[in-house]
Structure 1
Amino acid sequence: MAEIVESGGGKGKGDGKVRAKKLSTRVDMTPMVDLGFLLITFFMLATTLSKPTSMTLTVPDKQEDKKEQETEPLKASKVLTIFLGRNDDVFLLDGIAADDDKAATELKTVRFGTELRDAIFKSQTRINSQNEKDAEGNLPFVVVIKPTEVSTYKNVVDVLDEMAITKTKRYAMVDFLTDSEKKILGDKVTPRPEDK
């Protein structure tokens, strides 16, 4: 608690003047420290800590029978293919197959963020407006994501975030490149000594 200490007073040293008594206060901070620790302890126990967030990823159901289900092959005109390159580069083939003669000139390079998002929205709008829904009511737009040897785990997470942001329901991740894709991408996705 607070305590008042009196000091001085009486006559000065030979000058004959009477001096007033000086009062000084000393505050005991021990109860305040105790209160501080009690409050810290209370808020630590009463607060909910932030929970780690995870990304939901939809995967196909397990098939009971081991034989493959017959499905209609995807048309290249309904597919946006996203290749993940080095240094956060993203390469796009929009509605065209990699073995097409025009593929090398149609290959676009974008960056993550608004550039990639805009490209996805444009492709989604174009493909969905030109094609009808399938028998199950699914929109025709499909994205094929192809990570490469030079891309990073962060790139994969970023592109999956873009799928969630653009509300793209149908996408697939493929971990290999065809010969025609390797040919049009060239050295953009081949590892260099400094990449290792």
Structure 2
Amino acid sequence: MENLPKKIRSKKLSIKVDLTAMVSVSFLLIIFFMVTIELAKPKMMEYEYGYRGGCGPEPECNKPDENRILTVLLDDNNKMITYMGLLYSPIQNPKEVQYGKEGIRKELISINKKVHEYSASMGRPEIGVTVIIKPSKNSNYGNLVDILDEIKITGINSYAIVDYYTLEETKLLAIK
């Protein structure tokens, strides 16, 4: 009995799982989702569209001043139409304008100068023109970038991009 082979028992290894990488990935995912949620929240900014001068909550005194609003309609084939004021009673009739130094840039500089003079007569010379850009569904992204570049070059700091067209504006764009 002495020469019997001894039973060899296998060693039980203790299993350790290293979770360091999983914790790092988890924190990165948490940070990623926190940042994307924060960036997805809608942002709101103040829009100065007229002379309020402390007139109060009356609807008449808080209306936008059409003497300071220039609307730019963008359509396909580099078509751009501008008008000043309201379309049904424009201060400047709608006209087709070309892109570039002698086109829209010259127009923006001229109108901004007139609006500053008008604002100075009202006691607020710091208020310039507000440009409302309305790209149609047929316009391309390059046209929108071009008009934004022209606004930046001319020093206009008040503009809005609107995707709503009135029926009259749609008819205006349809005219060849």
TM bucket by the smaller chain?
A: 0.5 to 0.7
Q: C-alpha distance in 2, partners of 1:160/1:79?
A: 16
Aligned to 1:48: none
Query: Greater Rg, structure 1 or structure 2?
Result: 1
Tell me the distance in 2 between the aligned counterparts of 1:137 and 1:72. 19
Q: Distance in 1 between matches of 2:137 and 2:175?
A: 11
Partner of residue 112 from structure 1, selected from 88, 99, 102: 99
Q: Does the 8 Å CA contact 1:98/1:184 hold for their aligned counterparts?
A: no
Q: SS at the partner of 1:87?
A: coil
- Partner SS, residue 97 of structure 2: strand
Q: Aligned partners of 1:185, 1:75: CA distance in 2, in Å?
A: 24
Q: Percent identity?
A: 26
Note the residue ranges of structure 2 that are not aligned, 5 or more in a row: 1-42, 47-56
Match of 2:65 in 1: 75
Aligned mates of 1:74, 1:110 — CA distance in 2: 25
* AA at the equivalent of 2:99: F
Residue ranges of structure 1 left out of the alignment (5+ in a row): 1-58, 63-69, 189-196
If the length of structure 2 is used for normalisation, what is the TM-score? Answer: 0.58
Equivalent residues in 2 for 1:1-196 (5 A)?
A: 60-61=44-45, 72-94=62-84, 96-100=85-89, 106-114=93-101, 115-132=103-120, 138-187=126-175
Question: Normalised by the size of structure 1, how large is the TM-score?
Answer: 0.53
The number of residue pairs the alignment matches comes to: 120
Q: What code does the residue aligned with 2:67 have?
A: S
Q: Tell me: CA distance 1:133–1:167, structure 2 relative to 1, closer, same or farther (3 Å).
A: farther
Cα distance in 1 for residues equivalent to 2:129 and 2:171: 25
When you count helix as a share of all residues, which structure comes out higher?
2
What letter is aligned with 2:79? D
